[in-house]
């Protein structure tokens, strides 16, 4: 449980650091004075009881909420608050707790939409859909298909995602985030509402991403089994405050964490 040293941040080991972040909505303090860091290449879990401020923390990280206090250092640049577009362009992608897919678009289109930032051919070429626009489209389509293969969702490629069962929607959402080829991937309860087998699949995808692509991952999850197995380090929030930070084993044994969250020791 220590804040990242200036040297570490400078060394580039730390991909993202939040320092003293506070966020309140009217009287509700969603996040108060929280600091932690995410190192390059690690899987960092954020856990805590309901309403502890986990989702709000992610929202701060990718600029959807602007904290009243604190600062955020991402890739060595320090700001008071992120801007959504800048965060995305800088390589932060995320999935959402309440699936936020583009419901009437197909799986393929959702994933292709994830590549919008990477496609640049101008309006002029777009209206002809030939030449550069088409070759760009084909190039990105290849990437999209790779992601689809990776997540094993070939069979739902052309189905509007609104009609998919919840579990598959979560998977597509992951695919959409992957399509952005992020450096930092924020996952908000990616396994809620899944059965064991699906959680296992999901875990496999997350691990492979982390292993093969080196994607750094911040993960919110309520399934302790998953959290403890996957994550390198865990930060625990309660009522907007950080109450613990450390390896899964350390956290598991932490008294405050057991009281506030786990109930019984797992």
Ligand X SMILES: Nc1ncnc2c1ncn2[C@@H]1O[C@H](COP(=O)(O)OP(=O)(O)OP(=O)(O)O)[C@@H](O)[C@H]1O
Scanning the structure block, which residue is given the tokens 């044994």? 253
Q: How far is CA 68 from the centre of its chain?
A: 22
The distance of closest approach from Cβ of residue 35 to ligand X in the complex, given in angstroms and rounded to an integer, is 17
The distance of closest approach from Cβ of residue 49 to ligand X in the complex, given in angstroms and rounded to an integer, is 7
Partner touching 124 among other proteins, Mg ion, ligand X, none, CB below 5 to 8 Å by kind: none
Contact assessment for residue 152 and residue 172, using Cβ atoms and an 8 Å cutoff:
no
Which residues in this chain contact Mg ion in the complex, by CB under 5 A? Answer: 55, 97
The distance of closest approach from Cβ of residue 25 to ligand X in the complex, given in angstroms and rounded to an integer, is 3
Q: What's the token pair of residue 240?
A: 């907007």
Candidates 196, 241, 180, 215; CA nearest to 34 is 241
Shorter beta-carbon distance to other proteins: residue 95 or 216:
95
Contact assessment for residue 35 and residue 18, using Cβ atoms and an 8 Å cutoff:
yes
The distance of closest approach from Cβ of residue 106 to other proteins in the complex, given in angstroms and rounded to an integer, is 10
One residue of 194, 236, 237, 257 binding other proteins per CB under 8 A: 194
Among the listed ranges 6-14, 31-39, 73-81, 106-114, the one in contact with other proteins (CB under 8 A) is: 106-114
d(CA 53, CA 122): 41
**Which DSSP letter does residue 25 get?**
E
Q: What's the token pair of residue 3?
A: 């804040």
One residue of 46, 101, 151, 218 binding other proteins per CB under 8 A: 101
Shorter beta-carbon distance to other proteins: residue 2 or 50:
50
Binding mask 216-255 for other proteins (x = CB under 8 A): ------xxxxx--xx-------------------------
Residues 6 or more apart from 246 whose CB is under 8 A from it? Answer: 1, 233, 234, 254
């Amino acid at each position: 449980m220590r804040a990242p040293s200036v040297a570490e941040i400078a060394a580039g080991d730390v991909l993202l650091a939040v320092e003293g972040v506070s966020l309140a909505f009217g009287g509700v303090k969603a996040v108060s004075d929280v600091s932690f860091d995410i190192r390059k290449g690690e899987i960092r879990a954020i856990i805590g009881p309901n309403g502890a401020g986990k989702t709000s923390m992610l929202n701060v990280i990718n600029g959807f909420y602007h904290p009243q206090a604190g600062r955020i250092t991402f890739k060595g640049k320090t700001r008071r608050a992120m801007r959504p577009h800048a965060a995305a362009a800088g390589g932060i992608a995320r999935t959402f707790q309440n699936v936020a897919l583009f419901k009437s678009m197909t799986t393929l289109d959702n994933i292709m939409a994830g590549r919008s930032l990477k496609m640049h051919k101008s309006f002029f070429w777009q209206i002809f859909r030939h030449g550069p626009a088409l070759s760009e489209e084909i190039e990105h389509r290849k990437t999209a298909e790779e992601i689809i293969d990776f997540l094993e969702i070939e069979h739902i490629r052309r189905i509007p995602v609104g009609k998919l069962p919840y579990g598959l929607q979560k998977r597509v959402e992951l695919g959409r985030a992957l399509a952005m080829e992020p450096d930092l991937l924020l996952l908000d309860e990616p396994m809620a509402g899944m059965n064991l087998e699906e959680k296992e699949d999901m875990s496999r995808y997350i691990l492979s991403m982390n292993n093969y692509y080196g994607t750094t991952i911040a993960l919110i999850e309520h399934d302790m089994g998953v959290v403890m197995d996957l994550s390198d380090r865990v930060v625990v929030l309660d009522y907007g405050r950080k109450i613990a930070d450390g390896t899964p084993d350390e956290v598991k044994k932490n008294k405050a964490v057991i009281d506030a969250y786990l109930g019984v020791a797992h």
